[in-house]
């Protein structure tokens, strides 16, 4: 699957979870972005200068921390999120 297609599917996953995704220029020391909480709401900030592959990694890593078991997701989306899943077995709830 092309990174651009996967990126769109991951953005849709974030939308289903009610998580805002924004693309902003980030300092090079910040990597390519990540998950944060602003005013009590989760948000994923991605470096707008990142490649499609880097954007996929950033989104997949952030989304892998959430419980997506109730969402209908493409098998490739689940596979990529599983690949970047951390060691924590506790999943966040977005809403």
Mean pLDDT of 13-36: 88
Mean pLDDT of 73-78: 96
Which alpha helices (H) appear in the chain, and where do they start and end? 3-17, 52-63, 75-83
Distance of CA 14 to the CA centre of its chain: 7
Domain count, the chain: 1
Identify the domain containing residue 37 by its residue range.
Answer: 3-83
Domain annotation covers residue 31: yes
Domain annotation covers residue 76: yes
Domain annotation covers residue 58: yes
Domain annotation covers residue 94: no
Mean pLDDT of 32-41: 91
Domain annotation covers residue 64: yes
Domain annotation covers residue 79: yes
Domain annotation covers residue 71: yes
Domain annotation covers residue 53: yes
Neighbouring residues of 35: CB distance < 8 A, sequence distance ≥ 6: 42, 43, 44, 61, 62, 65
**Residue with more model confidence, 94 or 65:** 65
């Amino acid at each position: 699957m092309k990174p651009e297609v996967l990126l769109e599917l991951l953005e849709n996953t974030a939308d289903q979870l009610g998580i805002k995704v924004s693309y902003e220029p980030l300092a090079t020391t910040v990597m390519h972005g990540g998950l944060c909480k602003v005013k009590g709401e989760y948000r994923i900030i991605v470096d707008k200068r990142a490649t499609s592959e880097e954007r996929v990694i950033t989104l997949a890593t952030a989304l892998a921390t959430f419980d997506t078991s109730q969402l209908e997701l493409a098998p490739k989306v689940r596979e990529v999120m599983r690949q970047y899943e951390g060691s924590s077995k506790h999943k966040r709830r977005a809403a």
